[in-house]
Amino acid sequence: MLLVSVLLIYWLFCFPSCVQARTTFQPDATNTVIFPPFVKILWLSALSNAFIGVLMLVVPVEITGDNTHNNLSISVLMYPLAWALQHFVVEGVACMLLQKGCGVGAARAAFKWALSWALVTVLMQGGYSASEHTTAVALQAAWNALLLAFFLVLWLAPQDLLYRRPACVPYAKFWFFFRVVSLLCFLAAESKTPGLEDVGSCGYVFLPLLGFSILQPLVCYRTLLEDSL
């Protein structure tokens, strides 16, 4: 995750013309490859992923919520914050695509919804990290269920009932299936069933965790690019 974040930051900093390649005819914001506000989202995505990458190196923590690691008090504070920052971006992009424009009003509305979800994430992930096993599993499953419902609605709801921009549908579809895989791996890891527990733990590391670090910046960039064209 840290390596991917460093590469993204390097790309944004050293090759801004690739992110905002202007035409030679009308050099206004409407002709950039990605709208300037969206570039800020890419920066926020890169920095939030870098933060959690550094955190994982400095404060390693078990996947389960009932660990007794010496750094538990630190992880209870820092990991929920890191998750909140990441999901402020992921769900914030979805909230932005629910707006009927890209102006200040739309940005403020998306910010309020994304910030509200980030606060929910802090509370639920903090409870997950600090709770005994059964409560921790229930909190994590409930958090994933909320995300599943959110992205399922964005994916399948009729357009006349729920307005969203065209880029929102494939974005929601991707994150819905990602959350399905994440939840299945998590439940398998927490099942306490010999064999299945090991498969779930391994799958959780290589699919949701590693997959998120690689795919999230790419999906975010591709979605913002599609919405800017």
- Mean pLDDT by runs of 10 across the 229 residues of the chain is 53 52 42 70 84 76 46 70 92 94 86 96 89 89 96 96 95 97 93 90 87 88 88
Contact 154, 172 (CB under 8 A): yes
Q: By CB neighbour count within 10 A (0-12 exposed, 13-18 middle, 19+ buried), where does 94 fall?
A: buried
Instruction: Take residue 64 and report the two structure tokens written for it.
Output: 């389960």
CB contact set of 104 (below 8 Å; sequence gap of 6+): none
**pLDDT for residue 23:** 39
Contact 144, 181 (CB under 8 A): no
CATH of the domain at 47: 1.20.1070
Query: pTM of the predicted model, to two decimals?
Result: 0.82
Q: The domain containing residue 8 runs over which residues?
A: 2-228
For 169-181, write each residue's pLDDT tens digit.
999 999 999 999 9
Q: How many domains does the structure of the chain reveal?
A: 1
**pLDDT for residue 59:** 72
Report the C-alpha gap between 222 and 60 in whole angstroms. Answer: 31
